[in-house]
Structure 1
């Protein structure tokens, strides 16, 4: 935070800033004194012009007492404690930034996860520090410590990303200064997030049957729509009926993970699910939670469907369906990666590249088909073609 302008007085070591009187709201001088104690420069608040009847001369006497080593008076001690509290109140520590940041966010799964990361990792390390007080070395030590404790690189990356978001939030709101990049840089751990969950034909058949057998219609249709559209869990939680354009055949995705609102085609399978899906009265959401509010979880039902289908332990029942949607399109050889990127609403093509090997396999298979067909034709040349070639040779 920028420091207020200090004004000198006729007394050495005594200065003041302009503040506002608590009782009247009028301009008021707040006096400070500076002196050395045990070789260290000390600055403390002497008092307010009106509230404490403080004058430059009175502040100079207090300063002289400090230099002589006299104990603080009860009033001076109270003033000092008050000054400390006021100073602390003006400090936007990471803990205060988190409280302000969280107050601007809806209570959902994402905020709950971020809260856990802050309370478990960031608060113990940096909660009482202002962002600019956290150095590169501090961040490096925390990253190294968490990795040694067995935390996954992805978890550590999320923790550091939350720290960056809090700092950006504070700077954007004018609550704190932007840290000096020469003193604070954040090195993210390398994360291998190229996992592309897939199911074979038998596993997919069991999953479809398990969804059919699910008595919870909301959960069953939630899973179906995830499978047929590749939408993210959070996007389905936020999906409202006004976002479904049955006439033009599109689903509007508002504020997706990539940031900018987008739309994806409403295919026939997804249309069939939505047209038969029940509307919950007085709720705008397609898949509402308790009381018609936005849903925040569907984990119990999705895990039940996963168990009933006998899917692999590492298959995530919701995000795995998104991967399955993408893998199916990529391996078909009928969808290029740019189109797939738009269907998945990936902000960057780098996220879609994880499926490129599947498309390459499909292209190789198509190439082999062409090679086989042409190879057979070459091994049994058409006599009429041969005669035409010979005749052409004679014409030359």
Structure 2
């Protein structure tokens, strides 16, 4: 194109369509090279076979170092004055090290990024590093539906409180009872975590800190004293099903989580180091359970089942035992312990962790060591045990190691 040619609206109007037999869809006119154009380098007009005309800025991306282009509008909707203004703004961004197309695309994504999209596309892939990510999915889809549509940049504390109020006004479809405050708090905690992620990754407003979890004394304090633990282990080892009995004994001696111990394989045992390796735990890390002589003896007493790799082999082919709730109920009955579902003093499978944690804490074992034993992600989860045992320090006699040797 001759540099003497002036850039005018009339010139653009007179550009002929690209021939229908042309190989390319469009032909380009270098508008930057035209007289009195007032346009930065790289502005083109692409003329299609139907005669449609659109403006484009071609450039080298300062971010990727590769050729790139960004649309500047269409003729005649975009006049020359607007074309000059927009193209100069983009060129200035390029000089400042900003890729205008990447910037604009990000803004479009941000504008259309709802809470639901952010959860599925950004939060969930990160959350899958922990074993409990399916719980997050269930809580988000079941309880936060009313705010799924909210743009992530427009989420407010009021939206999170709205979910709280909705849950407080409903009953659980499973139990037919109002949702427990602890259940509501788990959903609130999830929404707060999602918001913090959006704040870190997408500069969304941080509103989570404005929402407080509900105040509730919901700590499950059911746990066994030293004497009760001795009786419990004795009953467990005499239980008719050897695998189930051994499982319960080791569960309450190690403080392991139910599934993390129940699904262990014989190959997870290191007999020389006297340990059991758990490759994946609830918080996404691996964990090693170190065993006393008594625990090793219990493991060696468990009969192996042919073609079943699990330590605590179940009756189904190549499957572990089912959750030992029935056996636990039987043992509690023999010990004269009440079985009151929902009561915070009730002994459950999870009470194994409280038992070990509280016995250790009662003897002044540092919280850091308790956290290691129970594989807590942080000390906050272990602090409960110092509170649990304040009124029972004199009742609980000795440290866990001494207690285990007494049982032996």
Give TM-score scaled by structure 1 length. 0.56
Tell me the secondary structure at the aligned position of residue 288 of structure 2.
Answer: strand
Could you say which residue in structure 1 is the equivalent of 2:339?
Answer: 312
Q: Give 3-state SS (helix, strand or coil) of 2:132's partner.
A: helix
The superposition leaves residues 139-192 of structure 1 with CA deviations (integer Å, 9 ceiling, x where unpaired) of: 1222233234443232122112333454566788xxx72412269854332343
Q: 8 Å contact 1:207–1:306 — kept in the other structure?
A: no
CA distance in 1 between counterparts of 2:251 and 2:192 reads 31
SS in structure 1 opposite 2:140? helix
- Specify the SS of the correspondent of 2:328: helix
Q: Distance in 2 between matches of 1:280 and 1:105?
A: 36
Aligned length: 296
Going from structure 1 to structure 2, the CA distance change for 1:277 and 1:304 (only over 3 Å counts) comes to: closer
Of the structure 1 ranges 163-172 and 338-347, higher mean CA displacement relative to structure 2 is found in 163-172
Change (3 A) 1:287 1:112: farther
Closer, same or farther in 2 for the Cα pair 1:288/1:106, shift >3 Å? farther
Aligned to 2:295: 270
Gaps of 5+ in 1: 1-8, 12-23, 30-47, 64-86, 367-396
Task: Tell me how far apart the structure 2 counterparts of residues 90 and 254 of structure 1 sit (CA, whole Å).
Answer: 40
1:324 alignment partner, one of 348, 355, 376: 355
TM-superposed deviation, 1:228:
1.4
User: 2:134 & 2:371 partners in 1: Cα distance?
Assistant: 29
2:87 matched residue in structure 1: none
**Partner SS, residue 238 of structure 2:** helix
* C-alpha distance in structure 1 between counterparts of 2:287 and 2:339, whole Å: 33
What's 2:66 paired with? none
Contact 1:131 1:179 in 2 (8 A): yes
Of 101-110 and 141-150, deviating more is: 101-110
Residue correspondence of structure 1 range 191-340 to structure 2 within 5 A: 191-199=216-224, 205=231, 208-209=234-235, 212-215=238-241, 217-237=242-262, 239-257=264-282, 260-278=285-303, 286-287=311-312, 292=318, 298-299=322-323, 301-307=324-330, 309-310=332-333, 311-313=338-340, 314=343, 315-331=346-362, 333=363, 335=365, 337-340=367-370
Alpha-carbon distance, 1:204 to partner:
6.9
2:136 corresponds to which residue?
114
1:145 aligned partner: 166
In structure 2, what is the Cα distance between the partners aligned to 1:365 and 1:207? 17
Equivalent position SS for 2:202:
coil
Q: CA deviation at 1:336?
A: 5.4
Task: Name the CA shift for 1:126/1:316 in 2 (closer, same or farther; >3 Å).
Answer: farther
**In structure 2, what is the equivalent of residue 131 of structure 1?**
152
Aligned-partner Cα distance in 2 for 1:133–1:282: 56
Alignment of 1:165-184 (within 5 A): 165-166=193-194, 177-181=202-206
Does structure 2 conserve the Cα–Cα contact (< 8 Å) formed by 1:92 and 1:130? Answer: yes
Question: What is the CA RMSD across the aligned residues, in angstroms?
Answer: 4.9
SS in 2 for 1:163: helix
How many Å separate the matches in 2 of 1:325 and 1:250? 17
Higher helix share: 1
Q: Once structures 1 and 2 are overlaid, which stretch shifts more, 318-327 or 243-252? A: 243-252
How much does 1:247 deviate?
Answer: 0.9
Whether the 8 Å CA contact 1:28–1:49 is kept in 2: the answer is yes
What is the CA–CA distance in structure 1 between the aligned matches of 2:210 and 2:307, rounded to whole Å? 49
Counterparts in 2 of 1:159 and 1:99: CA distance versus 1, 3 Å: same
Deviations along 1:89-128, one digit per CA (max 9) or x if unpaired, are: 9944333444456578779983443333122211x22222
- Work out the CA distance in 2 between the residues paired with 1:51 and 1:135: 49
Conserved 8 A contact 2:130-2:283: no
Kindly indicate whether the alpha-carbon contact (under 8 Å) linking 2:236 and 2:249 is maintained by their aligned counterparts in 1.
Answer: no
Q: What is the DSSP-based 3-state SS (H/G/I as helix, E as strand, rest coil) of the residue aligned with 1:129?
A: coil
Q: With the length of structure 2 as denominator, give the TM-score of the two structures.
A: 0.55
- Counterpart CA distance in 2 for 1:161 and 1:169 is 12
Gap change, CA 1:279 and 1:180, over 3 Å in 2: farther
Per-residue deviation, residues 54-104 of structure 1 (Å, max 9, x unmatched): 4249956789xxxxxxxxxxxxxxxxxxxxxxx799944333444456578
Q: Can you give the 5+ residue segments of structure 2 that lack an aligned partner in the other structure?
A: 1-6, 10-22, 29-45, 56-72, 79-107, 171-177, 398-408
